[in-house]
Amino acid sequence: MPRVLIISNFISEKSGTHGVCEELAARLPAKGWEVETTSSVRNRPLRLLDMLRTVRRLRVSLDVAQIDIFSGLAFRWAEAITRLLAKKNVPIVMTLNGGNLPAFAKRNPARVRRLLAHANMVVAPSAYLRDALQEFCYHIQIIPNAIDVNRYSFRSRLAHAPRLVWLRAFHEIYNPALAVAVTHKLLNVYPDVHLTMIGPDKGQRRMIERALIAHDLSDHIELRGPIEKSEVPAALNDAEIFLNTSNIDNTPVSVLEAQAAGLCVVSTNVGGLPHVIDHGKTGLLAPPNDLMACAAHIHAILQNPVLANELSEGAHRRAQSFDWAAVLDRWHEVLTESASSKQ
């Protein structure tokens, strides 16, 4: 069996946004791969140390390594890991991640070019990241983020009830405050509006809790925190509209999950989202941080069952193209081709 080491953050078991790397690691054995992973250590410095130790221990026995590339401190980790792998001529597949990566590359062009030059193959989950990073690496292939569509019970929405769900981390780049503001705005027209916010705290939850008290929204907004991945389908099924308020984004799995479940998706138009959402057909897009546009889109859906049904059905059809049944074959091909280059 060919042996692959997947190097990423294997720590999202309770985030509600299970990492693609975790799903890939679980599915590759069905294609004949022996899979090693690193790292599931939660402490960031200790996680890097665990990654380096694992690479040192396994690199002589690997056929290929796959590294998730993020911006910031995680980019330094990728540089250190790549140096270790390159010393033993281990073929490397690099996967571009995160809506911040294009801006990081603009600030650090030499570092980004130098790192990507070590890759036998570079993968991007969206045309957005491919196009944004193409000046730093010309051989970028698209393999989209994937979901198991069959996990999500599809229900065609007519959106008769103003029940919303938000599923991201409570981090400033995902702008949870906008979701609160939109709900507050809708309350003027829909006294029974309800928003469920799901995700781990990354520094913004306390602010959101204060906002709920200040605007007397505790009966209209439920903060659930992180949930198990297995609980996501049921959480989505309870809602009619999925609200995504990101300021920076790539191809969020949570949006794909919402589409698979048939929710009407209202999202900010940032990063790779216009490659996932065809405005007016598979969801509605609003400018970033635009309270009035988000509220108007939700109002349009609630007032027009025909529109709601078209968006719901279109979203579900769109989600089919992101199913693991097709995407796993692409990963198998890329890893096999890269492994064949090992000297």
> Does 133 share its domain with 183?
no
The pLDDT tens digits for 213-222 are 999 999 999 9
Whole-number percent of the chain with pLDDT over 90: 89
Mean pLDDT of 189-194: 98
> Does 304 share its domain with 250?
yes
Q: Quote the pLDDT of residue 98.
A: 86
pLDDT band at 14 (very low <50, low <70, confident <90, very high): very low
Q: Quote the pLDDT of residue 17.
A: 47
> Does 72 share its domain with 107?
yes
β-pairing, 140-142 with 163-167?
unpaired
The answer to whether 18 and 49 have CB atoms below 8 angstroms apart is: no
> Does 316 share its domain with 331?
no
> Does 181 share its domain with 278?
yes
> Does 85 share its domain with 184?
no
> Does 153 share its domain with 231?
yes
> Does 139 share its domain with 208?
no
Say yes or no to pLDDT of 178 above 50. Answer: yes
Mean pLDDT of 202-209: 96
> Does 160 share its domain with 298?
yes
Q: Quote the pLDDT of residue 343.
A: 59
Q: Quote the pLDDT of residue 99.
A: 86
Q: At what angle do helices 20-27 and 324-339 cross, to 10 degrees?
A: 80
**How many separate domains does the chain show?**
2
Tokens of 321: 């193209």
Q: Structural domain of residue 30, as residue ranges?
A: 3-146+323-339
The pLDDT tens digits for 131-153 are 999 999 988 999 999 999 999 99
Q: Quote the pLDDT of residue 223.
A: 97
Average model confidence (pLDDT) for the chain? 94
Tokens of 34: 């022996």
> Does 290 share its domain with 333?
no
> Does 171 share its domain with 313?
yes
Closest to 112 (Cα-Cα) out of 99, 103, 120, 123: 103
Say yes or no to pLDDT of 250 above 90. Answer: no
Q: Quote the pLDDT of residue 18.
A: 53
The pLDDT tens digits for 225-236 are 999 888 999 999
Mean pLDDT of 255-281: 96
> Does 213 share its domain with 114?
no
Q: CATH number of the domain at 48, please.
A: 3.40.50.2000
What is the end-to-end Cα distance of the chain in Å, rounded? 17
What's at 169, amino acid-wise? Answer: A
